[in-house]
Amino acid sequence: MIKTTNPYNGSTIKEYAMHSPVQLTTSIANAASAFENWKLESIKSRTKLLHKVSELLLERKQEYAELMTREMGKPISQSIAEIEKCAHCCNFYVENAAQFLADELIVTDADESFISKDPMGAILAIMPWNFPFWQVIRFAAPNLTAGNTILLKHASNTTGCALAIEQLFIDAGYPTGCFQTILTDHESIENCIADKRIKGVTLTGSGKAGKAVAELAGKHLKKSVMELGGNNACIVWEDADLEKYMETIVKARMQNTGQSCIAAKRFVVVDVIYDNFVAAFKEHIQLLKSGNPMEPHIEIGVMAREDLVVTLEEQIGTSVNKGAKVTHGNLRDGNYFEPTVLEEVVPGMPAFDDELFGPVAAIVRAKDRADSISIAANSTFGLGTMLFTEDIDAARKMVGAIPDGAFFINEMVKSDPRLPFGGTKNSGYGRELSKEGMLEFVNKKTVYIRK
């Protein structure tokens, strides 16, 4: 059985029976069977259904948002915004899919030659709980529209969301087998990946999970995309406009109660502005409203599970034992964790080296601009970097200095359907969103014609 629990009050939401091996095999068979007809549908037909998904998302956004907040504690206003973003993503692919998937003509010595973008088949998607609708839709929208079919293995604590998404695609009119949620455990995933009818696998989650699934995918020669963790640096130079951007900087760490792979985890601040930055940052986080995440004015909800809170406490404790100082927060009440500031953070501490998945800001002092870039680049992760400065020309020159998947100047790192999203190093490989994300699970086939 799978039991979902409200992290705010500890009440049981619902219990679900996991699928049996026979049910899993049937789901895979249905996905493979559906693909044979779905791949022949016109892009126009597929985008028509995707447009209906967008409409239903907006019609049901309050219902879906409340479900999300009950299952993982996200503030309700952020849950509503997540559903709206999902609808925006669908509309982006409705408008651009035909262009992205069009044959690409190549001039050669042939009478006609081009690249055909053919769907691959049934794709297994393993998705996390922190953005339970967005993580799924941003993969499903382009891949269904490209002609693939999808099996979703969602995080167990957001099983209600997983089944709601499956019903969403059914209600929009997608053929049976195009999108299915499977209720299973990690032990069964190996059998799914090994099945020859599964043509690829994508995972958004921890580095540990990513390595395990990537190993399985490699073992069976399956195409894979890994969207893993990060400990993004937020660099603050001496000329940063703190009055203008502090709200953005705080949001970069505290949005979704700090439970985001692309959140600013390490604030690398040059010495000249360090004291002013810390004072302003603390002032702003004290204004954040905490409480029942179902209330519309709440900005900090609860963490999604007790084990996540325990891990965060251990990471803070180890960092403090190694010399870090807690200068604000660090109070816990159940699954609520107060926004916290750690100072005197240096390499060798979990607060610097690892991913702290919660509302904790690790602040690192840099001597100057050059030192700030060196510190930011000192990471085994490579998801994204943000830099706040008024010197845009100098900031542009730093884009290549840090080998991350994204570099944002005077803005928090965020995902956008129009731009590719993904990381390097321990943050994974492959891209989601934009044209690049739509083409990850297509066969770029060379077609050569001599008349």
pLDDT for the residue numbered 187: 82
- The beta strand positions in 190-230, using DSSP E, are 198-204, 223-227
Cβ atoms of 356 and 260 within 8 Å: the answer is no
> Which DSSP symbol is given to 111?
S
pLDDT for the residue numbered 408: 98
Which structural domain range is residue 195 located in? 2-228+427-449
Those residues of the chain that have pLDDT short of 50 are none
Euclidean distance between CA atoms 253 and 412, whole angstroms: 9
pLDDT for the residue numbered 436: 98
Are both 281 and 173 inside the same structural domain?
no
pLDDT for the residue numbered 186: 82
Q: What are 88's strand-pairing partners?
A: none
Are both 144 and 239 inside the same structural domain?
no
Euclidean distance between CA atoms 182 and 162, whole angstroms: 9
Consecutive H or E run containing 374? helix 369-377
CA neighbor of 78 nearest in space, from 56, 93, 53, 61: 61
Euclidean distance between CA atoms 157 and 129, whole angstroms: 7
CA neighbor of 129 nearest in space, from 196, 177, 200, 79: 79
Are both 414 and 434 inside the same structural domain?
no
> Which DSSP symbol is given to 290?
B
Residue with tokens 């050669």: 108
Are both 43 and 123 inside the same structural domain?
yes
- Kindly report the number of other CB atoms within 10 A of residue 292's CB atom: 14
Euclidean distance between CA atoms 233 and 387, whole angstroms: 8
Are both 221 and 304 inside the same structural domain?
no
pLDDT for the residue numbered 325: 98
Are both 222 and 256 inside the same structural domain?
no
Cβ atoms of 268 and 235 within 8 Å: the answer is yes
Amino acid at 410: N
pLDDT tens readout for residues 363-414: 999 999 999 999 999 999 999 999 999 999 999 999 999 999 999 999 999 9
Are both 30 and 110 inside the same structural domain?
yes
> Which DSSP symbol is given to 298?
-
Tell me the whole-structure pTM to 2 decimals. 0.97
- Kindly report the number of other CB atoms within 10 A of residue 403's CB atom: 13
pLDDT for the residue numbered 309: 98
pLDDT for the residue numbered 82: 98
Cβ atoms of 431 and 143 within 8 Å: the answer is no
Are both 215 and 274 inside the same structural domain?
no
Are both 283 and 406 inside the same structural domain?
yes
CATH code: domain of residue 316: 3.40.309.10
- Kindly report the number of other CB atoms within 10 A of residue 15's CB atom: 10
Cβ atoms of 404 and 360 within 8 Å: the answer is no
Q: Is 252 helix (H, G, I), strand (E, B) or coil?
A: helix
pLDDT for the residue numbered 177: 98
Number of domains the chain is built from: 2
Are both 43 and 148 inside the same structural domain?
yes
Are both 262 and 157 inside the same structural domain?
no
CATH code: domain of residue 199: 3.40.605.10
- The beta strand positions in 71-141, using DSSP E, are 104-105, 112-119, 122-126
Active-site positions read 227
Are both 54 and 119 inside the same structural domain?
yes
Cα distances from 345 to residues 32, 248, 322, in angstroms, run 51, 22, 9
Cα distances from 31 to residues 144, 148, 160, 170, 433, in angstroms, run 12, 9, 21, 14, 23
